[in-house]
Structure 1
């Protein structure tokens, strides 16, 4: 049993840390507060090949293992979680095209997506359908060699930069159960009727846009149906969300680690009653609890990623990692704020941003209540075991 990273993974982590220290940390506070889009950071990520994380090497990507994939999101989220979000939706979409797309779709899209010349996201959520994806109202009607898509999507990351944007829709609204009539269709940027509307205001998760998208009679070639066979969209999306939950879990781990780092540093600098506050047992107890939460989250995240690398289905493992790590992130962010006292509530300190970013990790990519249901069903069915 080996809990250590390989030499290659450690070197990769050092490259990521250097990038975050040079280009993200110095500007994160100012750019996040102003709402500035991190174009320069995105360009460096493109040059590093990070947009090709989940693209196989034959199409110009990195074809990264899942542990290395998790390291990317952990390290970038430690610097600025919103920037990690830019890569997250893109990587999930690339994974879907690589895993489920036709060969023509892979060759048409993946090389440019891997290089960052194109970027992408994924359009699942609707105003009246989030967790219940079978309740979506977006419909794609076959018309000769095309599909005509009508509907509305919301909370779409990378919406203004996605080309293509995979859209989950109903190609057979009368199907029973509904998931048998759902498909994913790749919508190219600039297609008439496809409009990216307002950016949604958010508590945190700034740096990347989250938009409403209107599809008003969008005509798309039938060749853009992911995989070429209708009715498989729900299965395609759910398989991709296993990878997505490792991504979110790793981002949550990055937030938790950053909160711990800030609290530890401040406890060694701040003085009260003539002593460093780290000398007080009340602070020591908080530091110890945070360190334990962070390390437990890390082991769960890397375990889920390693299981995925082994070719296993990881809905239970990814669910455990996502639920635990996201709650550790929220807990550590609040504890770090308490260690900082009044300064923790100030926008001049990093912990205020971490406190705002953390809650999304408990909601995104399936709420933690849903993760617990997935975990329990896997255990009760015998599909997974513990111990």
Structure 2
């Protein structure tokens, strides 16, 4: 198709992937215990990740990025996510959500100011979720009221990835008291987090995913100039957020699939080393059943991923595919992590082995970027819309 995004040169991309695969296995995985102990990625590793361009994969080349298309970006996330989730978490908000929102909807001035900074590794947050609303935009409480040549923002954002140390947040706020059709009451604002009136809650303690941080962003009479309004137009914020969420869902699906592969590889290794009744437990058919079910499910998720990203790069809408892939892959990752614990037996419950960490880490994939239940609603509503459209013409 003529509107296929060519992205990075194919040969250069393959070399980058090979370099990243080595980096994941030789640097990122060996550093995992350190990340867990300190609940953070060491500065030297972060500097290496910036140097490799991992914060600028999707930024256009003229802004200092690699100019990857969706396929290349998601394949890169898949490669990176074989390692613990903190590494994807710190880069992916820049790449998949804030960058795509600015690229798709920003003014030329906003692109020129923010994309080079994001590509260089300034860390971003995406501020949609609130204490009383997540996927429900009608419940959004944060307000942006016109004041002189700008806006005054008030509200609280909750569970915001990277909030404790991000430099900028894309904040969704209400520019109309009434709920308008197509969520026209929601606008998006680029807010540097050192702006007067912004405070951040402390990093929340979580079930898993050590080294990645979430927290509140509290906005109290925060004045931002008019040019902070994304795209310079009110009422486009929710559409921008939803466009970005397709990328976010593809990224979470890819991360789930890669982490399931890591859990399965660990389970295979353990099953061949652990002996019971005088032989490796890998010889037992019920263990083999768990391994083979896991392989088949991972393969199915990989096929879904590659179909969805190919369609995205052809310029097709992938709302359905992104939601279905995220839903299937995140649920599948939970099943594979659970089997990994089961194959380890008693050892699977001990912190000494990786299986229990995989189990805790993978649980969030079924929740963020829209829960499984929200994915079901998104898929069903779109199916019914498509059916109605077909019925009436």
TM-score, normalization: structure 1?
0.94
Match of 1:133 among 137, 154, 176: 137
Q: Residues 38 and 207 of structure 1 are in contact (CA less than 8 Å); yes or no, is this contact kept in structure 2?
A: no
Aligned match of 1:101: 106
Q: Distance in 2 between matches of 1:291 and 1:269?
A: 19
In the alignment, structure 1 residue 351 sits paired with structure 2 residue 355: yes
Match of 1:269 among 258, 269, 273: 273
Decide whether aligned partners of structure 1 residues 197 and 44 sit closer, same or farther in structure 2, where only a CA change above 3 A counts: same
Q: Distance in 1 between matches of 2:172 and 2:46?
A: 26
- After superposition, the CA RMSD in angstroms is 1.7
Aligned match of 2:56: 52
In the alignment, structure 1 residue 316 sits paired with structure 2 residue 320: yes
* TM-superposition CA deviations, 1:131-181 (whole Å, max 9, x none): 213211100110011111000011111113323211000011224348211
Q: Residues 38 and 83 of structure 1 are in contact (CA less than 8 Å); yes or no, is this contact kept in structure 2?
A: no
Match of 1:69 among 58, 62, 73: 73
Aligned match of 1:364: 368
Q: Residues 122 and 165 of structure 1 are in contact (CA less than 8 Å); yes or no, is this contact kept in structure 2?
A: yes
Say which SS state the counterpart of residue 50 (structure 1) adopts. coil
Shift of 1:33: 4.3
Q: What does 1:146-185 correspond to in 2, within 5 Å?
A: 146-177=150-181, 179-185=183-189
Match of 2:344 among 321, 329, 340: 340
Aligned match of 1:110: 115
Q: Residues 252 and 326 of structure 2 are in contact (CA less than 8 Å); yes or no, is this contact kept in structure 1?
A: yes
Gaps of 5+ in 2: 1-9
TM-score, normalization: structure 2?
0.93
Q: Residues 55 and 114 of structure 1 are in contact (CA less than 8 Å); yes or no, is this contact kept in structure 2?
A: yes
Q: Residues 29 and 350 of structure 1 are in contact (CA less than 8 Å); yes or no, is this contact kept in structure 2?
A: no
Q: Distance in 1 between matches of 2:326 and 2:140?
A: 24
* TM-superposition CA deviations, 1:202-257 (whole Å, max 9, x none): 00122121011110000100111000000110111001100110010011011110
Aligned match of 1:3: none
Shift of 1:34: 3.9
